[in-house]
Amino acid sequence: MKKPKIVLIGAGSHSFGLMMLKDIMHTPELHGSEVVLVDIVAEKVERMLRLARRLNEIWKADLKLSATTDRCEALPGADVVVTSVERKHYELWQLDIAIPEKLGCRRLYGENGGPGGFFHTLRQVPLLMEIARDVERICPDAWLLNMSNPESRLCLALSRFTKVKNVGICLGAYITQNTMAHVLGLKQTDVDIKVAGINHCHWVMDIRRTGTGEDLYPEFRKRMQSVDPNWEPLSQECLRRFGYFPGPADTHVGEYLGWGWKFLKPEQTAWIFRGDQDDKVREEQVETLAKGTGPMQAHEMGLFNDLLIEGGLRWQTMDILLSLLDNGNRYILSLNLPNDGYISNLKRDSVVEIPAIVGADKIYGLHIGEMPHAIAGALELQLYIMDLVVDAAVKGDRKAALEALILDPNVPDPATAARLLDEMLVVQKDYLPQFA
């Protein structure tokens, strides 16, 4: 395998940038690769570059590192482009939660589904489409691996309105796998799950013991009867009512079910309203590490480990990236792909989350078949909403936007939907130019 050129867009982020660098440097096959860090905030990307150079020396990864605020400068010759992008992340996220609540919607996580996820989509689709257009023009053979949210909706926009080779990546299924292993008293590597659904609302259709194939669902259901009722209560309710466990967490699943809000707690969104302050603390920690030299001392390792999201759980991005380049035919627990009959009773060509095999320059989704009708019914509504939201985001179609909100089970009535759309198009007008 030739050493690839990897472009990381959004690399100034302490979560995305640091995790990607760690995983690249801990992947021997990628040692010696060219890695370009891109971020529109010069201070952040310069700081991450300094830390990257230190880590590169410590871990002897021999990466050719550079950084820029201009992605068009970074893209020529790229083999893989990885994106994780946001604008005024917490400031706008807070509006996505607070304004729908003020107008009569129930409080939700506000990121991927529900009215908050709707407005998040309207902002994010044009941003990612601009990146994709540059990839089409400058490095048309490159793969775009998207890690930005709302994942399903962004992938749908890329697949329908661009020619760029793309796939959506989320750690969610691995979190669900780890959660179920913990309930069973097993290691994550001892458990194999098959998930199906949509991003941030997938359902575990099968759970087996690695190596033996033993069906672990009977034991999992038995153990779930005695877990703390305050732990992931929505997921517990879904398991009781539908017989299958959803993931990756109540906060995410609750955005797609009209009654999910009843199981959510205020503290699950409270941290979002102090996100900017928490970010400043983490950026100071990154600066502390970036200013250091040589091997990390014990206190520095503590800072480094605290900065790694999800406890530093290895992202599947590396397996995908490697397989596209070396024909590794690696099995991936979940990817977001257009539904080419993979889930037979969900809308074709919608974006679904399923297991896949990644080979040379191609991704092979695995056939799941039918999902239980009750679950499929809830998801199918979301897929039609997704169509309308993406059309609205790409075309500035106000009619499609209003219809998407009216259909949303977390919006109480058409009048509320109209008031919500009117207010948010004013409050967030600087980020929604397609509706000008």
254-274 pLDDT tens trace: 999 999 999 999 999 999 999
Q: What is the mean pLDDT of residues 10-38?
A: 96
Look at residue 179 in the predicted model and tell me its pLDDT.
96
pLDDT at 316: 87
225 pLDDT exceeds 90? yes
The reported pLDDT for the residue numbered 315 is 74
**Residue 152 confidence (pLDDT) above 90:** yes
pLDDT of residue 309: 81
Average pLDDT score over residue span 142-168: 97
In this prediction the pTM is 0.96
Residue 161 has pLDDT above 80, yes or no: yes
What confidence tens digit (pLDDT) does each residue in 312-339 have? 677 789 999 999 999 999 999 999 999 9
Q: What is the mean pLDDT of residues 120-146?
A: 98
Q: According to the model, what pLDDT value does residue 312 have?
A: 66
Q: In this model, does residue 392 exceed pLDDT 90?
A: yes
Distance CA 74, CA 358 (A): 26
Q: 117 φ, ψ to 5°? A: -65, -30
Of the pLDDT bands very low, low, confident and very high (cuts 50, 70, 90), residue 91 is very high
**Side chain identity, residue 162:** T
Residue whose token pair is 């906060």: 251
Give the whole-angstrom CA distance, residue 381 versus residue 376: 9
Give pLDDT, residue 25. 96
Q: How many CA atoms lie within 13 A of 278 on its CB side?
A: 12
Q: Dihedrals φ, ψ of 426, to 5°?
A: -85, -50
Query: What value does the mean pLDDT take over residues 109-129?
Result: 98
Question: What is the average pLDDT score of the chain?
Answer: 96
Residues 308-313, mean pLDDT to the nearest whole number: 76
Check pLDDT > 90 for residue 181: yes
Average pLDDT over residues 110-118: 97
In percent, how much of the chain has pLDDT > 70?
A: 100
Q: What are phi and psi of 141, to 5 degrees?
A: -90, -5
Q: What is the mean pLDDT of residues 409-416?
A: 98
pLDDT value of residue 310: 75
Mean pLDDT of 7-27: 95
